[in-house]
Amino acid sequence: MEDVKKRKIEEASGNGEEISTYSEDHLRSLLDPLAKPQLVDLLAKLGCQYPSIAEEIKGVASADPVHRKLFVRGLAWNTSSDTLRAAFSEHGEIEEGAVIYDKASGKSRGYGFITYKYMESTQHALRAPSKLIDGRLAVCNLACEGLSGTSATLDLTQRKLYIGGLSPNVTSEMLLHFFGRHGDIEEGSVAYDKDTNESRGFGFVTYRTVEAAKKAIDDPQKTLGGRNIIVKLADSHKGRTVQAQLPPAMVPMALPLAAGYPQPGKAHAGATPVGYGYPQTVAAYPDSSYPSPPTAPYQASNVCWES
């Protein structure tokens, strides 16, 4: 910061400007009463005028990994850490990233983490949080937010649809394309058997708005892949609610903020990355072959996802 001040003084001197005689304490006393929006506006203007200040802002903003780490869920069982990083590399340089595996079975848990080198890369990725990876629509959000602000909202039961009667030839891409005409889709996939990778004849689509979900239900055209399909709210399927897919005694847990993996960029089949507390068993999901994570931010580290 001292170098920045020195350069500012040199620039001012070179331009024949009057050099400020304000002390740091005096400037702090002027800035202290200002509201956050005023400070942000001031720094943004200074950053646009002086590249050195812009670099300083960038460095401070990216220093804490909490602003650069993404939680990615809804991954296909066969998605590898390499595939995950490749899918998110378009937004910027990745510092570390990995799919999380169960250390007992070595199978993917259906989610992972991506940490970018710079904060702006993370912000760019969050502008389009849904991404098709290995035929599944994965969703990302800041790891520090857990599942809040995404599908954990209270109106999930009115936005998530069960799609039944699907032809074995219908892929997740076809499903998403067909239902995308009603509105933006947050999550969606055909349910596949995790052993044979064959379609189980049904799938799920979660819209971003309740209105889009209603349009899909009310649409009289319900023919896909040469078959008449069933479209209804997922919580009404077999009389179960979305929350009922989770064990009654399940204790939510918060996603820790610590960063780091034992071997950055590797698939950790036998170890849990340092700093994270993950569920310790592989889930068997009755309605889908990809994970439906808890509907609230995690709060404890000793949770097991069970069938």
Tens of pLDDT, residue by residue over 199-245, are: 999 999 998 889 999 999 999 989 999 999 999 998 876 544 333 33
Q: What is the mean pLDDT of residues 6-19?
A: 52
Distinct helix (H) and strand (E) counts, the chain = 9, 11
Which are the contacts of 240, defined by CB distance < 8 A and separation ≥ 6?
A: none
Could you identify the residue written with the tokens 């209105």? Answer: 211
Window from 142-146, 170-174, 213-217 with minimum mean pLDDT: 142-146
pLDDT for 258 equals 44
| Amino acid identity, position 227 | R
CB under 8 Å to 158, separation ≥6 — which residues? Answer: 210, 213, 233
Residue 64 DSSP symbol? S
Extents of the domains making up the chain: 2-62, 156-245
Is 87's pLDDT higher than 90?
yes
Whole-angstrom distance, CA of residue 94 vs CA of residue 265: 9
Q: How far are the Cα atoms of 136, 152, 276, 278 from residue 305, in angstroms, in the given order?
A: 21, 17, 16, 10
User: Confidence band (pLDDT; 50, 70, 90) for 147?
Assistant: low
CB 99 within 8 A of CB 86: no
Cα→Cα distances 214→157, 208, 209, 275, Å: 12, 12, 9, 42
- Scan for tokens 């069982």, then name that residue: 77
With a cut of 80, say whether residue 4 has pLDDT above it: no
Q: Quick one: average pLDDT of 47-52?
A: 90
Does 275 have pLDDT greater than 80?
A: no
295 and 149 Cβ atoms separated by less than 8 Å:
no
| Domain 156-245, CATH number (from 3.90.100.10, 3.10.20.30, 3.30.70.330, 2.160.10.10) | 3.30.70.330
| Per-residue pLDDT, 208 | 84
